[in-house]
Chain A
Amino acid sequence: MLVRFFGTRGSLPAPLSGAGVKAKIRDALVKAIGQDLTSPEDVDRFMADSLDFAAQSTYGGDSSCVEIDADTDSYIVCDAGSGLREFGNRVMRAPAPGKQKVFNLFMSHVHWDHIMGFPFFVPAYIPGNRILIHGCHDVAVMKEAFNRQQSAPCFPVNFGQLGSTIEFVQLEAGKRYDIAGVSVTTKAQNHSGDSYGYRFEQNGRSVVYSTDSEHKLDSLDETDAFIAFFHGADLVIFDAMYSLADAFSIKEDWGHSSNIVAVELCQRADAKRLALFHHDPNSDDVTLSKILDDTIRFEDISDAGSGLEVMTAYDGLEVTL
């Protein structure tokens, strides 16, 4: 099983600005002063040894979209944020061998940042393609959201005019399904208008997609239910948009969680890897790297023996499970 991240921002896409690129180039050149760089190979080595992730790359700016590439003959994608555009382009450029043009979308919910990529998903325009939009919200609610964003005066092509065949599939929270040869378990989450997490399992590997989920920690039963949902997962993708202090104070009831709660739940669930996700659009690359360093340190001081590996999801990241 392989997990590909196409969009990792929360709330709104946040592209790197020209000034941001310029600052990175300047910092890199300053670091290169006095280095013996006489060939492209020297430069490659210098970049690998001396420039950290934020210095030479970016976490990206697209909103939520994650592909679960399993041993299936159809595609599985979580959420249709702006990252869905690049996912669609990739399929158009290089279709995965052995996969039909059938796309199983799993919707955490239909807030705008999780559906805004759909009008730019090229495969949706192609007759013969089939798109199944799975979700635990009432199908009528999901349909309305997709229709509304893709109709006048917001968009020139109506949702109903798309060339592909689009079906909505009603799922229920707290149930397990076999979809496209993968076991999919659903879980209700605390978020404005509700949201749902999905646990995908196949061939002894598992990944949990749990975004837009506030953990208020006011109910032991609720906490235990999430620990059970994450239990033993090879990867947990977790909404860590805010600091714990913000999540408990000024941003209480805004529907998101923190890196601290992410680590604690994953440790107690014996999960193997944690990917921080749904990054604040106001966080730049340096800030996100600092949050990752902090989170790794917190993992160490809270329960050094847990063996939990912490990473920050970025657009383009691939994790093999």
Chain B
Amino acid sequence: MDIGEARYADLVLLTPVGRIDHITSPDFQAKLMDAVGSGGPVPVVVDLGGVEYISSVGLRALMIASKESKKTGGTVAVTSLQPVVKEVFEISRFNYVVKVFDTPRDAVAALSGDALAALENG
């Protein structure tokens, strides 16, 4: 699957596109873990705006990354859930265990002042 990656100061923004299911989730998980483990307490924002569906293994990847990230004081947040993905988050109750924001900017603003400055300055 295609997963875009951008860095704003200390923050990593991932933009996966397509379906995150048992076929594509290993790639997704590898990218997430790279981002989480890239030194220090890294805030990671996953923009799911281009994701039409996420299955249990994709959610599991988010959970593992989130747990790993907490060990170093980092955070994993998701943004821009499509209607179906939003429903999957609600039915699985993942909206209670992973931070969900409306837009990548909202997430960046909440997680890192430096990153927000970097984002706004282009």
Contact flags (1/0) for A242-273 with B, using CB distance below 8 Å? Answer: 01111011000000001111001000000000
Binds B, one of A57-65, A114-122, A290-298: A290-298
Complex CA gap A264/B88 in Å reads: 12
| Contacting residues, chain A, for B93 (C-beta < 8 A) | 243-246
Closest to B83 in A: A301
Contact flags (1/0) for A74-115 with B, using CB distance below 8 Å? Answer: 000000000000000000000000000000000000000000
| Contacting residues, chain A, for B88 (C-beta < 8 A) | 260, 298, 301-302
Binds A, one of B30-38, B52-60, B104-112: B52-60
Is the C-beta of B84 less than 8 angstroms from some C-beta in chain A? yes
| Contacting residues, chain B, for A301 (C-beta < 8 A) | 53, 84, 87-88
| Shortest distance between the CB of B27 and any CB in chain A (Å) | 14
Complex CA gap A172/B93 in Å reads: 37
Complex CA gap A294/B87 in Å reads: 9
Interface pairs A-B: 10 shortest CB-CB: A244-B92, A243-B93, A245-B93, A248-B63, A294-B91, A245-B97, A245-B94, A298-B91, A260-B92, A260-B56
Once A248-B63, A301-B84, A301-B88 are accepted as A-B contacts, the answer to whether A217 and B94 lie under 8 Å apart by CB is no
Contact A245 B92 (CB under 8 A): yes
A-B pairs under 8 A by CB, number: 53
Complex CA gap A258/B60 in Å reads: 13
Is the C-beta of A223 less than 8 angstroms from some C-beta in chain B? yes
Complex CA gap A301/B90 in Å reads: 13
Contact A264 B56 (CB under 8 A): yes
Contact flags (1/0) for B56-91 with A, using CB distance below 8 Å? Answer: 110110010001000000000000000010011011
Complex CA gap A297/B84 in Å reads: 10
Is the C-beta of B99 less than 8 angstroms from some C-beta in chain A? no
